Amino acid sequence: MDLIVARPEGLYCPPGDFYIDPWRPVERAVVTHAHADHARPGHGHYLCAEAGRGVMLARLPGIRLDTLRYGEAIVHHGVRLSLHPAGHVLGSAQVRLEHGGEVWVASGDYKVEADGTCAPFEPVRCHTFITESTFGLPVYRWQPQAAIMAQIDAWWRANAAAGRASVLYCYAFGKAQRILHGLAAAQGAGQAPGPIVVHGAMTALDAAYAAAGVALPPTLRTADLPARPAAFAQALVLAPPSAQRSPWMRRFGDAADAFASGWMQLRGTRRRRGVDRGFALSDHADWPGLLAAIEATGAQRIVVTHGNVPVMVRYLGERGWQAGAFQTEYGEEDDAPAAADAADAAGGEPA
């Protein structure tokens, strides 16, 4: 019997009678992380990693939630279940299942570069590995985080010197906190060029990260400054993509703007977003990272869920893995690209 099968409600463990990241309401849901496409409302009972408790409750207040420490195991209906760091966002976890001598691991979303805001990815040995493939094309190869943070810091400083606010669009959960933490590290003991202002969509999540012990620099809300462009002239403003071209943006005047996302690796995506700059900073593994993670599991069978599924399945099959796919409804969270962006990626447009 397969330990995980695809059902209309989501990925189901038949012997354990529970689901992993289901997209329809179920009684028991093991949730890999709190992004909206993986942690959905309406389930009877939730289980996640202890490190993700704060962000889960910030996004889904009032749920019935139990947690496990990383590496801690429970046995449910004969299935041994444990959660292991995925390195994606705070509290993200891979789900390890063991039953009848078989070990399966469902990755959720993951990245392999440690970023300082969550437990780093740990390979988990298994027979079958269920992997994402959001950036599963050879064109996606990330620069080190420190290099990207230095670029963001230099862009902010140049704009501040010219008397312009710097508006950086980034996803409210995970990316915003990673940028805040990374900029503090990039600046070290140096002086920031101005205040950091965050959109209201980020404040509860920032607080959850801070409560988990993640070091974040001081930030302000727009209400903390006078409602005139001059008050933001040296500021770095972090805003979700939904704020672009909204009335909320008018207070910043003639601001420079940029977008931080792995999709910024493609010129076509930067053009369509209509921003001055793009920073290719992703909370997902790039092509080399995906392959390294898959190799490290030692799995003979690989099941690909969301992203560039046909490319990844074909590539793995040609290199000796038993590769297949599950049809899922992931990829609808904040980091999802427009259809045209995905088409650019499939065409392999260079950075």
pLDDT tier at 189, thresholds 50, 70, 90: low
Q: What is the pLDDT of residue 341?
A: 46
Highest mean pLDDT among 45-49, 186-190, 332-336: 45-49
* pTM (2 d.p.): 0.92
Q: Tell me what percent of the residues of the chain surpass a pLDDT of 90.
A: 85
Q: Is residue 196 within 8 Å of 216, Cβ to Cβ?
A: no
In tens, the pLDDT along 66-102 reads: 999 999 999 999 999 999 999 999 999 999 999 999 9
Q: What is the pLDDT of residue 119?
A: 98
Question: Whole-number mean pLDDT of the chain?
Answer: 92
Q: What is the pLDDT of residue 184?
A: 82
pLDDT tier at 104, thresholds 50, 70, 90: very high
What single-letter DSSP state applies at residue 78?
Answer: T
In the chain, which residues fall in CATH 3.60.15.10?
Answer: 5-140+283-347
Q: What is the pLDDT of residue 274?
A: 82
Average pLDDT over residues 291-299: 98
In tens, the pLDDT along 47-61 reads: 999 999 999 999 999
pLDDT tier at 321, thresholds 50, 70, 90: very high
* Euclidean distance between CA atoms 142 and 127, whole angstroms: 29
Average pLDDT over residues 297-316: 97
What architecture is domain 5-140+283-347?
4-Layer Sandwich (3.60)
Q: What is the CA radius of gyration of the chain?
A: 20
Structure tokens at 80: 């041994």
pLDDT above 50: residue 346 = no
CATH code for the structural domain at 145-279? 3.40.50
Q: List all residues 6 or more positions away from 197 whose beta carbon is below 8 Å from its beta carbon.
A: 219, 220, 221, 222, 224, 225, 232, 235, 236, 237, 238
Average pLDDT over residues 307-334: 91
Q: What is the pLDDT of residue 350?
A: 28
Q: List all residues 6 or more positions away from 158 whose beta carbon is below 8 Å from its beta carbon.
A: none
Look at 26-35, 182-191, 220-229, 295-304 and tell me which has the smallest mean pLDDT: 182-191
Q: What is the pLDDT of residue 348?
A: 37
Average pLDDT over residues 130-157: 96
Which residue, 181, 198, 212, is CA-closest to 54?
212
Look at 17-21, 84-88, 250-254, 334-338 and tell me which has the smallest mean pLDDT: 334-338
Q: What is the pLDDT of residue 331?
A: 80
In tens, the pLDDT along 227-246 reads: 888 989 999 999 999 999 89
Structure tokens at 245: 């071209």
pLDDT above 50: residue 2 = yes
Look at 106-115, 144-153, 171-180, 188-197 and tell me which has the smallest mean pLDDT: 188-197
In the chain, which residues fall in CATH 3.40.50?
Answer: 145-279
Q: What is the pLDDT of residue 188?
A: 67
Alpha-helical segments (H) within 115-221? 145-161, 175-187, 203-211
Q: What is the pLDDT of residue 268?
A: 76
pLDDT above 60: residue 338 = no
Q: What is the pLDDT of residue 290?
A: 98
